[in-house]
C-alpha cells in the first residue's frame, strides 16, 4: 500500500430531504445551498484526505431518497467500503427509516461479513435530543454517531473522517 492511494467507496443513504447532498457538498466543496433539488438516481463526488498517514480518495455516492430509485441499489452498493446512514434530527420518521435503509443496503450490497460491515450514522440538522439515536447506534454494535449540520458545517469534517477510517479498516482498497 505504500506510495499509492486507496480508493474508498462510500454510500450515503437516508430518506428524501434529510440533507445527504448538502452534507456531501459541505464536506467536499465547503459549500451549502438553501436551494433544495432532489437527487435523481445517484451522483458522486470524490475527495482526497489523509487517514492514518495514508493518502486516501473517498468516492462519496449520494443516492436518491425516494422509493422509486431504490431499485438502483445493487449497482451502486456493490463494492462499498462503508455506508453512511443519514436522518433529519427533527424528523422521527426519517430516524425510524434508518433500520430499513440499513437492511436494504445489506441485502443489495451483500458484503462478506454483514455483522462487521462499517456504518456511520449522521443526525443532520442538529438541535434535537440525541439520546434515541445513540441508543439505536449502540444496539447495532456501537455504530459511530455524529450530529451534523451541513448548513453550519458542524461536525461534517469529523464525521467523514470517521467514515474514511471505518472504510479503510474494512480492508477493501480497490472495491470498484
Using CA atoms, how far apart are residues 134 and 46, in angstroms rounded to an integer? 29
Domain that holds residue 146: 6-174
In a domain, 21, yes or no: yes
pLDDT over 70 (residue 163): yes
Beta-sheet strand order (sheet of 119-124): 42-51, 54-63, 6-13, 82-88, 119-124, 145-148
| Residue/partner pairs of 143-147 with CB below 8 Å, 24 or more apart | 143/119, 144/120, 145/120, 145/121, 146/120, 146/121, 146/122, 147/89, 147/122, 147/123
In a domain, 163, yes or no: yes
**Per residue in 63-87, pLDDT tens?**
765 554 455 556 778 889 999 999 9
Q: Summarize the confidence of residues 149-160 as an average pLDDT.
A: 82
**Per residue in 106-135, pLDDT tens?**
988 888 888 889 999 998 887 455 677 788
- The reported pLDDT for the residue numbered 69 is 46
Contact 38, 16 (CB under 8 A): yes
DSSP secondary structure letter of residue 129: -
- The reported pLDDT for the residue numbered 118 is 93
In a domain, 1, yes or no: no
In a domain, 133, yes or no: yes
In a domain, 114, yes or no: yes
Indicate which CATH number applies to the domain containing 136.
3.40.50.300
In a domain, 40, yes or no: yes
Q: How many domains does the chain have?
A: 1
* Model pTM score: 0.71
Q: Which of 21-35, 82-96, 136-150, 156-170 has the lowest mean pLDDT?
A: 21-35
In a domain, 156, yes or no: yes
- Does an H or E element contain 156, and which? helix 156-170
In a domain, 52, yes or no: yes
Amino acid at each position: 500500500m505504500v506510495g499509492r492511494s486507496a480508493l474508498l467507496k462510500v454510500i450515503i443513504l437516508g430518506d428524501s430531504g434529510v440533507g445527504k447532498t448538502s452534507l456531501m457538498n459541505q464536506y467536499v466543496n465547503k459549500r451549502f445551498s438553501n436551494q433544495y433539488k432532489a437527487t435523481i438516481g445517484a451522483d458522486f463526488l470524490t475527495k482526497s484526505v489523509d487517514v492514518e498517514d495514508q493518502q486516501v480518495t473517498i468516492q462519496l455516492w449520494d443516492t436518491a431518497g425516494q422509493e422509486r430509485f431504490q431499485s438502483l441499489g445493487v449497482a451502486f452498493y456493490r463494492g462499498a467500503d462503508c455506508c453512511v446512514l443519514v436522518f433529519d434530527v427533527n424528523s422521527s420518521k426519517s430516524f425510524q427509516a434508518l433500520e430499513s435503509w440499513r437492511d436494504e443496503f445489506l441485502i443489495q450490497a451483500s458484503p462478506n461479513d454483514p455483522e462487521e460491515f462499517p456504518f456511520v450514522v449522521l443526525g443532520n440538522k442538529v438541535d434535537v435530543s440525541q439520546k434515541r439515536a445513540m441508543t439505536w447506534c449502540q444496539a447495532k454494535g456501537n455504530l459511530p454517531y455524529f450530529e451534523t449540520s451541513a448548513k453550519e458545517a458542524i461536525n461534517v469534517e469529523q464525521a467523514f473522517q470517521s467514515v474514511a477510517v471505518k472504510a479503510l479498516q474494512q480492508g477493501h482498497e480497490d472495491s470498484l
